[in-house]
Structure 1
Amino acid sequence: MMQIYAILENSIYIEMAIATLEKKGIPKPSIYAIPLDNRSEDRKLFDSLHNSDGTSLIDIGIALATAFSVIGTSIGFELAWGPIYWGLITALIGFALGVAIRLFTEKVLKKRKRLLKGKRPEVILIIECEKTMAELVENILWEHFALGVAKVK
């Protein structure tokens, strides 16, 4: 006996895959479907020491701080406080503006995109079959858009 595990999106293709498996001779008690729950809490915006999502909040801020400080330093030669102070002041303004832009895109724009996308929960499908049927079962699962398939002897 062999067990085959597959992950599929929760869609009509699961029902079609199960019906096809039953037609090919896999008994109903040998097919087990487990729906996974979606993540209920939102992802954290700020990374911790042990967890990072790969999104940086300061990348635009650093770029704008550099650009603003160059411009502020150039203009600072004409102003009362001089180029160093004006370069630092405009660098802080550029950094704050860049971080604000990044926070807005992460919190507002990307959240809308995630809500519109509507990620469906996934389902784990466990099929118990003979070794001779394993290749057929695997092919059926791939034809019905499985996200991943694994075999255990």
Structure 2
Amino acid sequence: MQVFATFENNAFLELAISKLEEKGIQRKCIFAVPLDKRQDERKIVDTLHRSDGTTFVDIGMALATAFAVIGASIGFILTWGPIYWGLIGAVVGFIIGFIIRLFTELVLKKKKRRLKGKHAEVILIIECQESTVEFVEHVLWSHYALGVAKVK
């Protein structure tokens, strides 16, 4: 049977491997594969096939609505009238909201766009007998594996 596990690259991985070797699993039956980390930065603009859930128009639409109402209200006093000043206010509000959102995504949330949290950096593959699978699984979980799977 094969047991697959993912670990962060730390001392717990080494401890798990040494404990498995102590209990009789040979070194040639343990295979560790380190994963490469992402080198390029994550994209900010979504495509048709990939979306990260952030949008640039949410603040723009809210400010466009607010500025359109203010522009239309003031437009009763000004010469072009409420319709033109409402449209001008909507465009100005949208542009201001879009710039605010662009600034927050590019400058303030730059660190959050990187992959965050715990990441699987090493895949550990263990070839063992069916009778030792439970022990191997217990050792992997007790040494903080991020995930464990077994395949017959």
RMSD: 1.9
State the AA in 2 paired with 1:6.
Answer: A
Where does residue 66 of structure 1 map in the other structure? 65
CA-to-aligned-CA distance 1:12-49 (integer Å, 9 cap, x gap): 22112212222222211111111111111111111111
Q: Which residues of structure 2 form unaligned runs of 5+?
A: none
List per-residue Cα deviations over 1:38-67 (Å, max 9, x = no partner).
Answer: 111111111111221221121111111112
State whether residues 6 and 120 of structure 2, in contact with CA within 8 Å, keep that contact through their aligned partners in structure 1: no
Residue pair 2:61, 2:97 contacting (<8 A) in 1 also: yes
- So what's the TM-score if we normalise by structure 1? 0.88
Give the residue type in structure 1 aligned to 2:42: R
Percent of counterpart pairs with the same letter? 63
Aligned residues: 151
1:6 is matched with 5
2:77, 2:133 → 1: CA distance? 79
Structure-2 residue corresponding to 1:44: 43
Structure 1 residue 54 corresponds to structure 2 residue 85: no
Contact 2:5–2:146, Cα closer than 8 Å, also in 1 = yes
Q: Does structure 1 conserve the Cα–Cα contact (< 8 Å) formed by 2:120 and 2:146? A: no
Question: Which amino acid counterpart does residue 33 of structure 2 have in structure 1?
Answer: I
Report 1:1-153 matches (<5 A). Answer: 2-113=1-112, 122-153=121-152
